[in-house]
Structure 1
């Protein structure tokens, strides 16, 4: 059983640039398994390490029956554009349309440290970009208007106090 808990905006760790992973070992693999467990328990599609209080460049995504591990990810290419609704485990109850590239090529290490390139489009590309944003201290609400962000921040502060 995991002790990891999803951090809720405006928790400061969600705004911090995550550090690269340098050690690939059994502890990392255990942590990644715990991340998948939390993500599934919370009915998420993806989860980034900062969302569970660890400022490291690790993200997990599960989509289309496949699990993806993105460690120290970089977006190599992006093309097209699509506007679609997004939500986030760290911003519960908020769903807004966000414009993102439709296709991406991402380079990342897997849990063993092997560098892989993954081409994705549509929802999977969106999920990768959403999680990579978390590793840069960026949230999907940053793509919204100032007014919408202020309203969401007010709602989240109330949620945080409860």
Structure 2
């Protein structure tokens, strides 16, 4: 079974550092595969829809996108946990949408964060294959949120105003949970 990793919380300096590229991307790299499996297990246990390596104190350009409905995101679409190594945005729509985000590294807070509605992305899979996809809406939001972690940013850095920041309990009241 994959190891559950400790999540770095806001204020930890690793969350402000730019992560390093993953150099060896082959499915026989045991440490990399172990980290990917541990990231998936940690995100699942914490009811997250994504997690980036810096959030578990590993400064690599790697994150997991694992959208699924849960208590934190009741209307999230379902997709299998996907490891994305050395990810980048190739292009994006002009449309920006402000919607709810939370973060495993910023417990008990939610914010209304502006993000591109549609993005074209490129990343390497855990098997070493280069993928190119168009992501929209919630999954595009997760990708952008996690990519920010690789660049030393958290969602609080993206808020347009303090009025866009809410407690978790107030957020749940607003969405009717």
**TM-score above 0.5:** yes
Paired with 1:145 and 1:78, the residues of 2 have a C-alpha distance of 20
Structure 1 residue 36: deviation in Å? Answer: 0.2
Unaligned runs of 5+ in 2: 68-77, 168-177
Give the match for residue 43 of structure 2. Answer: 39
Of residues 67, 87, 91, the one that matches 2:102 is 87
TM-score of the superposed pair, with normalisation by structure 1: 0.87
2:11 partner SS: coil
Give the match for residue 54 of structure 2. Answer: 50
Structure 1 stretches of at least 4 aligned residues deviating more than 4 Å after TM superposition: 145-149
Give the match for residue 8 of structure 1. Answer: 9
Which digits, 9 at most, give the CA deviation of each residue in 1:34-85, with x for residues without a partner? Answer: 0000000000000000000000000001121322211001100111211101
Which digits, 9 at most, give the CA deviation of each residue in 1:95-121, with x for residues without a partner? Answer: 010110000111001112211112110
1:87 partner SS: strand
Aligned length: 152
Which digits, 9 at most, give the CA deviation of each residue in 1:122-153, with x for residues without a partner? Answer: 0000000000000000111001257579xx9x
Higher helix proportion, which one? 1
The 5 A counterparts of 1:1-162 are: 1-24=2-25, 25-63=29-67, 64-79=78-93, 80-145=95-160
Paired with 1:84 and 1:148, the residues of 2 have a C-alpha distance of 13
TM-score of the superposed pair, with normalisation by structure 2: 0.80
Q: Quick check: 2:119–2:136 contact (8 Å CA) kept in 1?
A: yes
